[in-house]
């Protein structure tokens, strides 16, 4: 095995074993020194995140490991960003993401957002407590391939339906795939409101996003 491949495997391992941001950055720098390209490093990072996702769903890892892997991914992509052409970091296209009106929860949305960036999406995060019209405006202005909505409160679930309706009203519904997630959201609810996809958790949301565009 070449020095470069060993260095890339070490990046995957840093993520897969959630060794922390400093260790991940150290290994990324070593990979760069061994002539790995930023895209090759991003691919190794993704492989590591896939391991984290699988272990989380198998309950070998817990939310803390998923959050930490997200923090590591954020730091490493930040480190690599100046070396990457914009188009190559955004190979899967743009996602507009936000938490719906009546709900100020940010954690789940932020985690999905970070993991989408690490997975190669260009993410426009419009924030929390966002009315349906703001989602619609963001879709019109940013032309994303996916609109992702999050909510934690059951009180706010019906807002998702309003967003889907607002997209329809603005003639934008057919231009974008709608992905929903959050603690009270189920697959059945997603279907009921006319969403295209559903993520049971952050890891599942990334899979669903990829699936929507495949």
Partner 1 sequence: MNMRDRVLTTLDHKEPDMVPLTEFAIDPPHLEALTGLKVEGQTSLQTPVSADRKEEMANIDMTYRCYKRLGFELVPVELSAPDGWQAPKNPDGTMIDEWGRILRYTSVTRTWSPFRSIFQNPEDFDKFTLPDPDAPGRLFGIEQMKKLVKDDYALGAFIRDPFAHVWEMFTPGNFVRWLYEKPQLIRKAIEKLADFNVSIIKQLREVQVDLVISGGDYSEKNGPMVSPRFFREVIFPNLRRQVEETHRLGVKFIKHSDGNLNPLLPDLVQIVDGLHSLDPTAGMDIGAIKSQYGKKLILFGNVSVDSLCRKSTEEVIRETKDCLRLAAPGGGYILSSSNSWFADAKLKNCLAMVETARKYGRYPISVPRG
Answer for which of 26, 30, 39, 71 binds partner 1 (CB under 8 A) is 71
56 lines the binding site for partner 1 (CB under 8 A): yes
User: Which residue, 43 or 50, has its beta carbon nearer to partner 1?
Assistant: 50
107 lines the binding site for partner 1 (CB under 8 A): yes
Tell me the number of residues near partner 1 by CB under 8 A. Answer: 33
Answer for which of 28, 52, 68, 95 binds partner 1 (CB under 8 A) is 68
User: Which residue, 11 or 36, has its beta carbon nearer to partner 1?
Assistant: 11
125 lines the binding site for partner 1 (CB under 8 A): no
Name residue 100's beta-bridge partners: 130
Shortest Cβ 20–partner 1 spacing (Å) = 5
Give residues in contact with partner 1 (CB under 8 A): 20-22, 56-57, 59, 62-65, 67-68, 70-71, 102-107, 110, 128-129, 153-158, 183-184, 200-201
């Amino acid at each position: 095995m070449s020095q470069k491949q060993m260095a890339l495997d070490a990046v995957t391992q840093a993520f897969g074993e959630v060794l922390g941001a400093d260790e991940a950055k150290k290994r990324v720098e070593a990979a760069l020194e061994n002539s790995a390209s930023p895209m090759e490093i991003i691919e190794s990072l993704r492989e590591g995140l896939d391991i984290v996702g699988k272990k989380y769903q198998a309950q070998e890892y817990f939310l803390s490991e998923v959050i930490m892997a997200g923090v590591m991914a954020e730091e490493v992509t930040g480190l690599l960003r100046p070396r990457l052409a914009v188009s190559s970091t955004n190979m899967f296209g743009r996602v507009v993401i936000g938490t719906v009106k009546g709900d100020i929860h940010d954690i789940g949305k932020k985690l999905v957002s970070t993991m989408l960036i690490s997975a190669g999406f260009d993410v426009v995060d419009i924030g929390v407590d966002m009315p349906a019209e703001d989602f619609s405006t963001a879709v019109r202005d940013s032309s994303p391939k996916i609109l992702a909505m999050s909510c934690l409160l059951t009180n706010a679930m019906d807002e998702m339906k309003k967003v889907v309706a607002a997209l329809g009203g603005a003639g934008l519904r057919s231009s974008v795939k709608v992905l929903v997630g959050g603690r009270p959201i189920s697959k059945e609810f997603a279907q009921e409101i006319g969403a295209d996809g559903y993520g049971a958790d952050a890891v599942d949301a990334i899979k669903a996003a990829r699936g929507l565009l495949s």
